[in-house]
Structure 1
Amino acid sequence: MNDEPQTPPSRSADRVYDQVKAMAVTYRLRPGERVNEVELARSLGVSRTPLREALNRLAAEGFLIATVNRGYSVRPLDPKRVLTLYEYRAMLEVGALRLACERASDEALDALAAFAARSRDEPDDDEHALELLTLDEQFHESLARLSDNEEMVRSLRSLNERVRFIRWIDMRKGRRSSTQDEHLMILRHLRARDADAAAALMQTHIARRLDQITDMIRAGFAEIYTGNALAAKAMGEVA
């Protein structure tokens, strides 16, 4: 009789979901590729049941594409599609910011400003790009949380995951110092309860042109096919 504790099915499914999601977010599963469920299940050491559950969830959340009678494929790295995600992000964050301007206390804004100031001490180099991106996501999600609208926070968190790979590439191109300066200026506008000035700066802070996104995607493809440090890091965290 085997007395070793067995992992509950729900926990097993969640773990598989986390692993496959990390692979999709970081393009460890390459863009446009059809997911080979048999090979993926074998590589993860799991059965097809929790894998299929994970794939269904990820397709519903926009990380994979489900096609009738063809299974699942990885979302493509298409400039126009990425542009729509950036446009959605700008609209969502500006809306959350305007609510935060009405609802956030001065103390909460000061605490977020202190976090933004501390995060400027992180090294601004290629090696620390993932840590810098994590801090950036924490800032934006914390600011959205000051809107007191959990649906906006949940949507932003999901959206950040969907553009994480491209934003990581963007962070590696040396935008760090201007990013932190803009964070602090946005908070100064909010502290002054100047929603219009804060919103205008947030819009500029987030917006990207199609040619900029195309350049980032070109760099992203080079990374995917020559090592993909983000995928290696993410998979190590969820193993």
Structure 2
Amino acid sequence: MHPVPRHNISKTRRERGSGVFNTLRAMAISYQLKPGERVSEIELAQQLGVSRTPVREALTRLVNDGFLTPTTRGFMRRPLEVQETLDLYEARVAVESSCLAMAIERATDEEIAEAQAFLAKSRKVPRSTPIEQLVELDEGFHLRIADMARNVELKRILVNLNERIRFIRWIDMESAGRDFTQREHAEILQALKARDRKASDKALRAHIGLRRDQIVEAIRQGLAKIYLAQDAA
């Protein structure tokens, strides 16, 4: 029996660790790890059928990514708090505004046309499509603008912000609907195509900013959704 090459063992461990991290990140985004509750490293390892080491490593990464908080006994899912959510949305506005300004200077006509085609295609998606997929389409639109900015670091920050507010966006889109969102996307693209920085920035800020009262209501609905789902289970 031939020994397994060491580099194959390392590759397998990396793949397993990546799989555990992706699973736990998805659980954190959707609040299957409930806000304010302690995260059990042992229970998660048993649930995922892995050792505690990749779970611990994944939880540490989720602390760095802003999903968890370290405690004296391990980790806790960060609560759904109004001020933190408001801060995240303000950060998103700042990052996306910078991306849009750069895109006006750097985007090609072909890239703008592709974004318009993407928007036209997404408009045809049925209303019955799961909300998670609709938000994914919404994020895809905004990430196209980030790509046009040609700034890898800004896009990396935006991806992290998107993940941290995704649950709230699920709730907000369920309340607001898609038609209004699609019209605002079209306005942003029209201003981008015209290379009109002032109009594009105004349209973007009107589109992605949430007032404090809207965030309070989204969190109220979100918490109800989390714990009603738990009761139903």
Q: How does the TM-score come out when normalised to structure 1?
A: 0.90
**Matched residue, 2:179:** 177
Partner of 1:150: 152
Q: Does 1:88 align with 2:94?
A: no
Q: Which has the higher helix share?
A: 2
Deviation at 1:2, TM superposition (A): 11
Match of 2:119 in 1: 116
Q: Which amino acid aligns with 2:173?
A: M
- 1:174 CA displacement: 3.4
Cα offsets for 1:37-91 (capped at 9, x unmatched): 1111111111111111101111011111113x33110011011110110000001
- Whole-Å separation in 1 of the counterparts to 2:214 and 2:176: 14
Are 1:212 and 2:214 an aligned pair?
yes
Amino acid aligned to 2:137? L
What residue is the counterpart of 2:200 in the other structure?
Answer: 198
In the alignment, is the contact (CA less than 8 A) between 1:124 and 1:174 conserved in 2?
A: no
Root mean square deviation, CA, Å: 2.0
Q: Secondary structure at the match of 2:229?
A: coil
Distance 2:97 2:22 in 1: 29
1:156, 1:62 → 2: CA distance?
13
Task: Encode CA deviations 1:108-153: one digit per residue, 9 max, x unaligned.
Answer: 111101111111111224x521111110000001111100101111
Q: State the percentage of identical aligned residues.
A: 46
Per-residue deviation at 1:171?
1.1
CA-to-partner distance for each residue in 1:1-21, whole Å, 9 max, x for gaps?
Answer: 799997711111111101111
What are the ranges of 5 or more consecutive residues in structure 1 without an aligned counterpart?
229-239
SS at match of 1:226: helix
- Could you say which structure has the greater relative contact order, defined with CA pairs below 8 angstroms and 6 or more residues apart? 1
State the aligned residue count.
227
1:44-83 matched pairs, under 5 angstroms: 44-67=48-71, 69-83=72-86
After TM superposition, give the deviation of residue 36 of structure 1 in Å: 1.2
Amino acid corresponding to residue 37 of structure 1 in structure 2: E
Match of 2:14 among 10, 22, 31: 10
